[in-house]
Structure 1
Amino acid sequence: MTTTSTTTTETNTHQHGPRMDFYKHAPEVRKAMFALSKAANDGVDPVIGELVKIRASQLNHCAFCIDMHVKDARKAGESEARIYLLNAWEEATGYYTEKEQAALALTEAITVLTDGFVPDEVYERAARHFSEEELAHLIAAIIVINSWNRISVSTRVQPGSYQP
């Protein structure tokens, strides 16, 4: 027996108005997040840092952070092609260096945590391209962008207003 299911546009439409001004109600958290972001990102190549932030934000469906980091990447000189292809970086051969690909694979593994862990081969791939200090900062940067994403998604921060 075959059954079909229909859904209306109404049930698939999400209302994404802001829920609250998180930072107004938790200013010390905001201050701590900025300090953590600075500490984590100080040890990460800025190009890789923006790619990582965009990719994690794509995976987390964080429109505000995607908007912000695409704008920051463009201002820093990132190409439109590399920004557009980031969602399919594994298929976009020739657009990203091996080091960038290793960082993106690690970003996906940490962001999604498939089966609750980061696979050894993903970690080892990144470790071949980054010193231990660089790798520690990269992991921290990935964790921080995931935290920003979760704050923005849960409070529904609206995209578009950020200017680099």
Structure 2
Amino acid sequence: MTTTAVNDTKNEYAPEHAPRMGFADAAPEFYQAMFRLERAAAKDIDPTLYHLIKIRASQVNHCAFCIDMHTKDALAEGETVERIVQLPAWRESRHFYTEREAAALELTESVTVLTEGFVPDEVYARTAEHFDETELARVIGAIVTINAWNRIAVTTRMVPGHYTPGMYKK
């Protein structure tokens, strides 16, 4: 069977979009402050949990660049494809996650969306059952930080697909 040019065109990927700006070059002091915030947020938090928080918030925020980055980092550090693939439907596939992870994912979604204008008391209480106050503060810090990065990446249209694991670690 011969493939025609029309069929070949149908099978091509869409062209890659260009970023709107190089945020790091346009606001270097702010960008470096974000990296310091990132390092502070990641300190003393379980890396597996941190990756799940970053990936899930990025999915909710439709941040393709951050989904690409954090999925690649998680896989490079030993996370399974299965758990990453199931993450958008974690409630229906809870058996892939610990109770602590599920609580943190629920809080991640509540803080990320804020559709009701607040994090429901019951969500906070469920999360607090699994983390002491210091750990919970770290989880909140991780959620806040990834949401800030998502907003930068989505607004400036950072391009996914070019990240390699550990590329931005300093």
Contact 1:62 1:149 in 2 (8 A): yes
2:113 counterpart of 1:109: no
1:10: which partner in 2? none
1:54: which partner in 2? 55
Contact 2:94 2:102 in 1 (8 A): no
1:142: which partner in 2? 143
1:144-163 per-residue CA deviation (whole Å, 9 max, x = no partner) reads 00000000000000001111
For the residues of structure 2 that align with 1:82 and 1:17, how far apart are their CA atoms? 31
1:28: which partner in 2? 29
- Structure 1 runs of 4+ aligned residues shifted over 6 Å read none
Unaligned runs of 5+ in 1: 1-12
1:60-88 per-residue CA deviation (whole Å, 9 max, x = no partner) reads 00000000000011011111110000000
For the residues of structure 1 that align with 2:17 and 2:25, how far apart are their CA atoms? 19
Alpha-carbon shift at residue 16 of structure 1 (Å): 4.2
Secondary structure, in 3 states, of the residue corresponding to 2:94? coil
For the residues of structure 1 that align with 2:36 and 2:101, how far apart are their CA atoms? 25
TM-score by length of 2: 0.86
Alpha-carbon shift at residue 41 of structure 1 (Å): 1.2
Q: CA RMSD in A?
A: 1.3
For the residues of structure 2 that align with 1:81 and 1:128, how far apart are their CA atoms? 27
Alpha-carbon shift at residue 23 of structure 1 (Å): 0.8
Percent identity of paired positions between Structure 1 and Structure 2: 60
Secondary structure, in 3 states, of the residue corresponding to 1:55? helix
2:81: which partner in 1? 80
1:99: which partner in 2? 100
Secondary structure, in 3 states, of the residue corresponding to 2:116? helix
TM-score by length of 1: 0.89
Query: What is the letter of the counterpart of residue 101 of structure 2?
Result: E
